[in-house]
Structure 1
Amino acid sequence: MEKEQTLLSGDIKKTYVSYLIPTIVGMLTNSIYCIVDVMFVGLCIGAQGLAAFNIAMPVYTIYSSLGLMLGVGGAVTISVLIGKGKKEQVSQVLTMTVLCSALIGILMSAYGLLFPDAFARMLGASPELLQGVKDYLQPLHCVALIYILNCTMQVIIRADYNPKLVMCAAVCGNATNILFDWLFVSVFQWGLFGAAAATALGPCVAMSIWIFHYLLKKNTFKFTKSFWDLSLFQRIIKNGAGTFILELSLGCVVIFFNIVLLDVSGQDAVAVFAIISNIAYVGKGIFNGISQAAQPMLSVNYGARKIKRVQATLRTALICALIFSLGCYLLILIFPRPIIGFFINSSDAGLIDHGVWAARIYFISFVFTAVNTVLMYYFQSVESIKVTTMIALMRGLIFILLGLAVFPKFLGELGVWLTITFAEATTLLITLPIRRRLDRMLVSESIE
Structure 2
Amino acid sequence: MQQTNPLATVSEKKLLKQFAIPSIIAMLVSSLYNIVDQFFIGRSVGGLGNAATNIVFPLTISCIACALLFGIGGASAFNLTLGKGDTTHAKYFIGNSATMMFLCGLILTFVSQFFMVPMLKFFGSPNSVLKYAITYTRITSIGFPFLILSTGGGHLVRADGSPKMTMIINMTGAIINTVLDALFVFGFHWGMTGAATATVIGQVISCIIVIVYFTNFKTTTLTKDCFIPHATYLIKVISLGAAPCFNQVAMMIVQIILNKSLKYYGHRSIYGEEIPITCVGLITKVSQVFFAFIIGISQGLQPIASFNYGAKNYSRVKRAYLLAIKYGAIISIFSFAMFQIFPRQIISLFDNGTANELYFKFSTNYFRIFLFFICICFMQPISSNFFTAIGKPKKGIVLSLTRQIIFLLPLILILPIFFGIDGIMFAGPIADFTAALLCTVLIIHELKKEEFKIS
- Checking the alignment, whether the CA contact within 8 Å between 1:27 and 1:285 is kept in structure 2 is yes
What are structure 1's unaligned runs of at least 5 residues?
A: none
What residue in structure 2 maps to residue 93 of structure 1? 93
d(CA) in 2 for partners of 1:342, 1:2: 50
Aligned: 1:438 with 2:446: yes
Equivalent residue in structure 1 for 2:436, among 422, 428, 433 = 428
1:442/1:379 Cα in 2 relative to 1: closer, same or farther (>3 Å)?
Answer: farther
- Counterpart code for 1:305: K
Q: Is the 8 A contact 2:380 2:400 kept in 1?
A: no
Partner of 1:202: 202
Is the CA contact (8 Å cut-off) linking 1:336 and 1:356 kept in structure 2? yes
CA shift, 1:154, in A, is 0.4
- Residues 342-366 of structure 1: CA deviation (Å, up to 9, x unaligned): 1123452411232122111122131
Q: Could you list the per-position Cα deviations for residues 58-78 of structure 1 after superposition, in whole angstroms to 9, with x for gaps in the alignment?
A: 111011101111001111111
Is the aligned partner of 1:301 residue 2:308? yes
Tell me which residue corresponds to 2:269: none
Give the Å deviation of 1:161.
Answer: 0.4
The counterpart of 1:325, out of the listed 319, 332, 352, is: 332
Partners of 1:184 and 1:198 within 8 A in 2: yes
Q: Is the 2:67–2:152 Cα contact (8 Å) retained in structure 1? A: yes
Q: Deviation per CA, 1:156-179: give whole Å up to 9, x if none.
A: 000100111111121111011111
- Paired residue for 1:220? 220
Q: CA deviation at 1:228?
A: 5.4
Give the TM-score normalised by the residue count of structure 2. 0.93
Letter in 2 for 1:26: A
Name 1:246's counterpart in structure 2. Answer: 247
Q: Which moved more, 1:79-88 or 1:407-416?
A: 407-416
The question of whether the paired residues in 2 share the 8 Å contact of 1:305 and 1:445 is answered with no
Aligned equivalent of 1:82 = 82
Matched residue SS, 1:85: coil
Aligned to 2:270: none
Is the alpha carbon distance of 1:442 and 1:63 closer, same or farther for their aligned partners in structure 2, counting shifts above 3 Å? Answer: farther
**Length, aligned pairs only:** 447
**Residue in structure 1 matched with residue 377 of structure 2 by the alignment:** 369
What is residue 262 of structure 2 aligned with on the other side? 261
Deviation at 1:114, TM superposition (A): 2.8
- Check conservation: 1:138, 1:193, Cα contact below 8 A: no
The question of 1:391 aligning with 2:392 is answered no
Instruction: Please give the root-mean-square deviation of Cα atoms over the aligned residues, in Å.
Output: 2.0
CA shift in 2, pair 1:353/1:239, >3 Å: same
- Identity of matched residues, %: 25
Deviation, 1:229, is 4.6
Letter in 2 for 1:239: L
Residue number in structure 2 paired with 1:175: 175
Deviation at 1:89, TM superposition (A): 1.3
Q: What residue is the counterpart of 1:314 in the other structure?
A: 321
Matches within 5 A, 1:29-428: 29-218=29-218, 220=220, 222-225=222-225, 229-265=230-266, 266-350=273-357, 351-428=359-436
1:284-335: CA deviation from partner (whole Å, max 9, x where unpaired): 2221111001100010011111111111000111111111111111112222
CA contact (8 A) 2:407 2:431 kept: yes
Instruction: Encode CA deviations 1:209-255: one digit per residue, 9 max, x unaligned.
Output: 23332344545363351665533321111111111111122222222
Task: Measure, in 2, the Cα distance between the counterparts of 1:230 and 1:442.
Answer: 33
Q: Secondary structure at the match of 1:143?
A: helix
Q: List alignment gaps of at least 5 residues for structure 2.
A: 267-272
Contact 1:94 1:221 in 2 (8 A): no
Q: Structure 2: how far apart are the matches of 1:165 and 1:442?
A: 37
Distance 2:335 2:3 in 1: 34
Distance of aligned partners of 1:304 and 1:185 in 2 relative to their CA distance in 1, 3 Å threshold: same
